[in-house]
Chains A and B, each alone.
Chain A
Amino acid sequence: MSLLTLENLSVTFGKFRAVDNISYSVKEGEVLGIVGESGSGKSVSSLSVMGLIDYPGEVSADNLSFADQDLLSMPEKQRRKITGSDIAMIFQDPMTSLNPCFTVGYQIIEALKTHDGGNKKVLRARALELLNLVGIPAPESRMNAYPHQLSGGMSQRVMIAIAIACNPKLLIADEPTTALDVTIQAQIIDLLIDLQKQKQMGLVLITHDLALVAEVAHRVVVMYAGQIVESGPANEVFSTPRHPYTQALLASLPESASGKARLEALPGVVPGQYDRPQGCLLSPRCPYATDHCRHVAPDSQGSLERQVKCHTPLDAQGRPAA
């Protein structure tokens, strides 16, 4: 059964479409990787799932539902109840995402109290259990620590503890390891995947790290300039990318440049609000772009299982179809 479903979701800030008609779904116990360059709308789309898009941002969708409940039409109060309990999120920068004025224990217990309630003793025991679960040594003493007394890795563990406090069915991790150093990154990802398997959560993993997605994700969504350019089962997308952008992303990995003097790179940057090209958004950077691409925007082809947004999707040999 589908846990989270997005159909043609858009997020607009004034005239600017940060997220442009995207559709994907996450099943129970599934890991979905969302990849793309900075500014491609990865974070904004997940914030809209959490209901955290502030004025002047506007969210519209044909369907945005979680466990068959329509998130957009339900009363605000009910949505706030789901937020943080059934759907939880962890953010990029753990050092600034915990409130500096409150202890770790206070912030964990607060999440528990908001959604589950219970007396002080039970809540405290539960918080300790959570700290244990996310692998924090000496949790008793950490309960009274303030965020500034924790390292980045520790803070991220605390944030994960808070996010999974109410046993969410879906966890969104927005670049959970970007701000951490490499050795800690692996630990945090291992922890996330362990927890995901243990609790059979759906996990949306937003990241720049293609290797990571290839390793842990069941399905992958590739975003570019607010649009989903390709999505599908991770092994398929990585072995036979059908969109030139995905192909370019994979080619830019150091692994595919062995023996070469320089890494492959796609020239140019993601278009922003003022430099949107006509036609296909990738056309100025795409090596295969034709006149048709530069004038007419492509539609998504294929099913939700395997979609690609290109006039001339690549074939198994990585060449554009005629």
Chain B
Amino acid sequence: MTEPNPTLRLKGIVKTFPGVRALDGVDFDVRPGEVHALMGENGAGKSTLMKILAGVYHPDEGQIFIDDRPVVIRSPIEAKEHGITLIHQELSLAEEMSVAENIFLGELPRKKWGFVDWKTLDERVGTILQKLNADWGPRTRIGSLSIAKQQMCEIARALTHSAKIVVFDEPTASLTDAEKVVLFDVIEDLKAEGVGIVYISHRMEEIFKITDRISVLRDGSYRGTLNTRETDEDEITQMMIGRSLELHRRNIEHAEEGEEVLSVEGLSCGRLFQDVSFTVKAGEIVGFYGLVGAGRTEMAETLFGLRRPTAGKIRLAGEEVHIGSPSEAIEKGISLVPENRKEQGLVLGMNCRDNITLPQIDDLTAGPFVANGAEVAIYDMYRDRLQIKAPTWRTLVGSLSGGNQQKIVIGKWLSMKPRLLIVDEPTRGIDVGSKSEIHKLLRELAHQGYAIIVVSSEMPEVLHVSDRIIAMHNGRITRTFSADAVTEEDLIQAISGLTSDKAA
């Protein structure tokens, strides 16, 4: 079998930061018309490698070849000139500008005198959007689109350049299933045009669906490349973390059900969700599963006092309560690990200890001052219990890996000793190793008698941790399943709104 020469080849890339060898001799290549997955735990060096490709970092050693010619990429602009395009995990769009303006930002077609040629612009963008099956036009304001649609615009931007290499960094993190299908179609089209694609994702099912080869990094070093067709999840996982995990196991434990902690009756919040009723008992994990926009997060935020319900009752241990603000929720023993840890969960510029003790800082005083010892004790306790890997408590949270950041958020809320723990997307953007640790932790917490609500858009996760699963669609509960009676087919039907019969 003759293999085409790779479009992009990295050879022996080494990058060190003070005290860390972030990349230790990484080899990687992408052939034209191939989807090459890059996998590894958070902190394995994927982002560093991508930043080298993008010209943000410069390798200390090693060479980059494009079409067999050695190149040096000094800046993002040079990367673009070499035909390398990155689709970032975090979007970089100008919210107040139109779709068309964003897509051609910096290179808008001009007429004489330098005026923008709006007609040509609209036509060109229109064609691209059509290709992407977009139901919005070139003149739509970016800010008015959903995150998923904004991401499609980011992809559209890549399509306008004659890209040789397109790097997708966790592209499906906020996409719905339907949108994923469109994305995968786009990737197929790019392949057909001979573009080489680097695909970074933690989601195994996607990796197996669309990639041709898989390269794995661990702790900055290159662990090998596998042909997707000849491998399986276990092999990849082992390469990534050096041991095997049982990620797809269902939850088979039966919780020892305790007292009813939370009971919600007919809870509504405007158009966000309506008539939501359920209970959570001590020692039980109730999973909320649904598509983006189904109202799960909004429901969780209402329980935490971030939104005012328009109707319905909330009872804590049988007693009706009104929760007007997060501080009231905290007083009543409710904790929320929010959906977006960087925006909602953490103050990234603060150290680990200060982040963990933030909600209870008022109670940690000696005289008028914060009791340093008590604070450090709390940090140490949760560092050990959750196996947080940080050099010291003085380390800024922003410099930790995603998994450890998430553990800080969980530690922060566990240290409040809540009666009810709500966890929204517990493992979003977290590598497999930390993912399974967090799942295990949630099960342990349930064992210890916590009442837990887990909101997630990942089916394996919901199946893995929940004792009961509540499916939501369009702001309403469509069905409730018990862990031993749930099937994936039923669950998909329930969240797509295909069935409306309520089963117990």
A binds B: no
Interface residues of A (CB under 8 A from B): none
Interface residues of B (CB under 8 A from A): none
